[in-house]
Structure 1
């Protein structure tokens, strides 16, 4: 498995939208947790359809979870916990996570209803 492992550093600033250019990697993970990243999760992250693990927890990310995250149908793990500035509702496109095994979204300011599409996930 290929990966970008930058966890537990003092990285700051937003996640660059250029992350969406990493489309040719097969079955890989992006680990950026426990840093000082700010801003929203870029919608371009949805371009990385082969992404299997996305770990962005324990940063200072804000804004909504982009609906484009639903394009990550090979995603097995999604960690967004501990970004207390993340807000809004969960996108119904998260129901497309057919390979999802584990997800953490706690410690955020997410509100609204839980989309019914999430309850159609097969492996939870």
Structure 2
């Protein structure tokens, strides 16, 4: 995704306290999932973690899988495959848009 392509769901604007309230997870659990490379919050210049609504959804999915007995390394592998598939889809869509724009001589004003 580039610049303006970000959905509001992907903007990292929430603190860990808000995420904790939304998910019902403890700060310790959220930090553990970050340590296990299951989520990737942004950090402010002062080191404060910032999360998106997409991160909240992902945390809820992780918590459900943990409850089902799935190991964190298995979750990480599954999420990595899904993320890669999504990136490939986005690149493909951008290529098609570029080809259509070139074909129809579209120019942004």
State TM-score, norm by structure 2: 0.24
State TM-score, norm by structure 1: 0.22
Compare the two structures and name the one with the higher helix fraction.
2
Greater relative contact order, per chain length (Cα 8 Å cut-off, separation 6+) = 2
Q: Which is higher, the Rg of structure 1 or of structure 2?
A: 2
